Structure 1
Amino acid sequence: MKKILLASTSTIYGGTYLSYLKEELIHFFEDADEILFIPYARPSGISHDEYTERARTFFASIGKKVVGIHTFSNPKEAVNNAKAIFTGGGNTFLLVTKLYEQGLVEPLREAVNKGTPYMGTGAGSNIAGQSMQTTNDMPIIYPPSFQTLGIVPFNINPHYLDPDPNSKHKGETRETRINEFHVLNDTPVIGLREGSWLLIEKGKLSLRGGLTARIFEQGKKPYEWDAYLSSLFSKNK
């Protein structure tokens, strides 16, 4: 049975890396003493080693070992043997490109579907959806496909921001862009606000962090309704 944690972000305002998720992660990774970290999204262009060290420092505080996938000569084998997997945030275009280059999309999907605990933040959450088409990221590289892991039956828009009626900005809001997506696509989208995360455990999906999520469906007005998430997930256990 799938065990998945998808967070909007790794760091909330005023906090340190993953600190707001610490208690949740102690429970989530309770059966894994080692976590395979995928640093391919490279936030702010940091190296794989730098990013892995950031994750390693945090997880050491809860007694977990972190190993970067980039240190393995056979990344597919690393995924197949992983006790748990964490994909960090950053640029989704870069992350997806690298996953395809390394032939990791299908192995990751199979591992999660077989029950390997999977955690994502930001871009790492984006790739859990049906596609990466609702990312906020700049297309700095051209991936072979926009199709991603498809381990949940919806797409995610991490770092979701509500329209500000007092803003002088005249560009598209997140809501506008997702509505544009639904002109051509029927995949539901969850706008996941900062400090929120989705947890899939024992066949149930819950929204955590004390906030509601913004739900977008083709042909409907966006709405707030976290109970909807469970009915969505029941279609694709």
Structure 2
Amino acid sequence: MKRRLLLVSNSTLHGGGYLEHCEQHVGRFFGRDVKRVLFVPYALHDQDGYTRTARGAFTALGYELDSVHEAEDPVEAVRRAEAIFIGGGNTFRLLKSLYDNQLLTEIRRRVLEDGVPYMGSSAGTNVATVSISTTNDMPIVFPPAFAAIGLVPFNINPHYVDPDPGSRHMGETREQRITQYHEEPDTPCVLGLREGSLLLVEGNKASLLGTTKARLFSRGNPPVEYDPGSDLSCLLTR
């Protein structure tokens, strides 16, 4: 399999700028062979402003950035893309726009068959997985289905946060929400990516990058913690 994915938990880490915390990983991922990156800003309402932010970050890294929302034919833009980056925002809005513009199948084909590098951040990471069922976002719009691009056979929960023992909040913790998800039959495992963590997938190999641990949830089993640098290739064969 030709897939190359960089799945980032968050675009901005506290105290830093847009993609600043992962810029070295981004540069290594796209390398020098990629000259232009196709950006998908559908997760935010202000797509022009979002594109300016992303373009500034990628220009600083030495890449030209084109936005799919500026293209006359979004499908053709994906077909011609050297690399794809889908940014964060509202996951429901993002997935609905991908369906509306008929991009899910084309992105999947370009990544899995042609080996086009795919980077996602937050919502862009969510839509790379089996479904958006483990997103943190509100359903402000309704996509035709929760099924996502399916570049990996599991789900991710970006921005994963641990329970705060000192909190008086009585709502469910993130872990409890994921446990509720696994009460449904035939649900895949969920990788909780804390802020500052990234998952690199190259073919059938997956590695945890960044500065924070990740927490893996699978149906009927206790959660497992993984340190940065861990081999998570087992997730690709589940």
TM-score (norm 1): 0.95
Amino acid in structure 1 at the alignment position of 2:209: R
For 1:182 and 1:130, the matched residues in 2 are separated by 14
Q: 2:234 aligns to what SS in structure 1?
A: helix
Deviation at 1:154, TM superposition (A): 0.6
1:170-212 Cα distance to aligned partner (Å, 9 max, x none): 0011001000000014210000000000001253110011322
Do residues 13 (structure 1) and 26 (structure 2) align?
A: no
Partner of 2:128: 128
For 2:68 and 2:140, the matched residues in 1 are separated by 22
Partner of 1:59: 58
Amino acid in structure 2 at the alignment position of 1:229: L
For 1:17 and 1:155, the matched residues in 2 are separated by 24
For 1:210 and 1:74, the matched residues in 2 are separated by 39
Residue correspondence of structure 1 range 146-185 to structure 2 within 5 A: 146-185=146-185
For 1:170 and 1:58, the matched residues in 2 are separated by 39
Partner of 1:119: 119
For 1:17 and 1:7, the matched residues in 2 are separated by 12
Partner of 1:213: 214
Deviation at 1:230, TM superposition (A): 1.3
Residue correspondence of structure 1 range 34-49 to structure 2 within 5 A: 34-42=36-44, 45=45, 47-49=46-48
Deviation at 1:139, TM superposition (A): 0.6
For 1:141 and 1:232, the matched residues in 2 are separated by 30
Contact 2:22 2:210 (C-alpha < 8 Å) held by counterparts: no
1:81-111 Cα distance to aligned partner (Å, 9 max, x none): 1000000000000000000000011001111
Q: 1:197 aligns to what SS in structure 2?
A: strand
Q: 1:169 aligns to what SS in structure 2?
A: coil
Q: 1:86 aligns to what SS in structure 2?
A: strand
Q: 1:97 aligns to what SS in structure 2?
A: helix
Amino acid in structure 1 at the alignment position of 2:210: G
Q: 1:183 aligns to what SS in structure 2?
A: coil
Deviation at 1:62, TM superposition (A): 1.3
For 2:121 and 2:226, the matched residues in 1 are separated by 22
Partner of 2:92: 93
Paired-residue identity, %: 49
Q: Which runs of 5+ in 2 are unaligned?
A: none
Q: In 2 relative to 1, CA 202–139 (structure 1 residues): closer, same or farther, beyond 3 Å?
A: closer
Contact 2:205 2:232 (C-alpha < 8 Å) held by counterparts: no
Q: 2:92 aligns to what SS in structure 1?
A: helix
Amino acid in structure 2 at the alignment position of 1:212: K
Partner of 1:77: 76
For 2:77 and 2:92, the matched residues in 1 are separated by 22
Q: 1:6 aligns to what SS in structure 2?
A: strand
Moved more, 205-214 or 129-138: 205-214
Q: 1:232 aligns to what SS in structure 2?
A: helix
Amino acid in structure 2 at the alignment position of 1:231: C
Q: Which runs of 5+ in 1 are unaligned?
A: none
Partner of 1:229: 232
Partner of 1:50: 49
Partner of 2:105: 106
For 2:231 and 2:145, the matched residues in 1 are separated by 29
Partner of 2:35: 33
For 2:182 and 2:204, the matched residues in 1 are separated by 28
Moved more, 223-232 or 31-40: 223-232
What root-mean-square deviation, in Å, do the aligned CA atoms of Structure 1 and Structure 2 show? 1.2
